[in-house]
Amino acid sequence: MSGSFLVDSHAHIQGEEFSDDIDGVIQRAKQAGVEKIVVVGGAGDLASNQRAVALARSHDGLFATVGMHPHDAKAVSEEELAQLRELAKDSKVVAIGETGLDFYYNHSPREIQMKIFRRFIGMARATELPLIVHDRDAHREIAELLLAEGERKLRGVIHCFTGDYQAAKAFLDLGFYISFSGIVTFKNAAPLREVAQKLPLDRIFVETDSPYLAPVPHRGKRNEPAFVRLVAETIASVREMPLEDLIHATSQNAHALFGI
């Protein structure tokens, strides 16, 4: 591997989709050159966050984050926010998230999504941890909230980015990184590949968002961290650069943000 390894910067492998074969999943990731995996909390409830931290604690190369997905914002209590903040003190926790806004599905009312997002921005500032942001059809509102609440002291990443270059540029200007998932490999994603081609190399992340969004040729099946290599291959190819260099750069970026 000539010293370069991949980082899957966003995977929900603490869920029941992986409970039968988690060791195999981690093993296959290692075989694919994925040495580090960020296990992202926020897929549902407090228990999923606790499982993310427990999984990270029991494996070298695994790290955790704590948060609540915007889909679930309406169900988040003050008590849970307090417990998440406690959980964030664990030495294996490297970020707050995922959090953000999803104005496509609107599973929680928009005002409540914004209220909870503000709380997590506050938690990121209080803990001095970076933020992992979910953005679906809410680029402008997210950029405004990051600016208003973050006062340019926030660091973080917009995960599973699906916006255009202009939206990406607004987040770069706020000091954020942009993370690409398996969507960048999809046949109809030419505009997104163009964004991946144009962004500065020192601001790009790769992720799987497992178990969702498996890249081609696994589209529609369960995703797993080993497949982050396919995301990296696609971006290296559109940038017409050696895969090794893309892998090296994205791992450096993850190191710079998460300290991993």
Residues that bind Zn ion (CB under 5 A): 134, 209
Q: Which is nearer to Zn ion, 63 or 236 (CB)?
A: 63
Distance, in Å, from the CA atom of 260 to the CA atom of 254, rounded to the nearest integer, reads 7
Q: 50 — alpha (psi -120 to 50), left (phi > 0) or beta?
A: alpha
Q: How far is the CB of 71 from Zn ion (least distance, A)?
A: 9
Distance, in Å, from the CA atom of 127 to the CA atom of 147, rounded to the nearest integer, reads 18
Taking Cα atoms as reference points, which of 254, 257, 242 lies closest to residue 2? Answer: 242
Q: How far is the CB of 115 from Zn ion (least distance, A)?
A: 18
Fill in the DSSP letter of residue 241: -
Distance, in Å, from the CA atom of 234 to the CA atom of 196, rounded to the nearest integer, reads 9
- Across 48-150, the runs of DSSP E, i.e. the strands, are 62-66, 93-102, 131-136
Q: How far is the CB of 2 from Zn ion (least distance, A)?
A: 31
Q: How far is the CB of 209 from Zn ion (least distance, A)?
A: 5
Q: Which is nearer to Zn ion, 213 or 236 (CB)?
A: 213
Q: Which is nearer to Zn ion, 8 or 199 (CB)?
A: 8
Q: Which is nearer to Zn ion, 108 or 239 (CB)?
A: 108
Q: How far is the CB of 73 from Zn ion (least distance, A)?
A: 13
Nearest residue to Zn ion by CB is 134
Q: Which is nearer to Zn ion, 17 or 209 (CB)?
A: 209
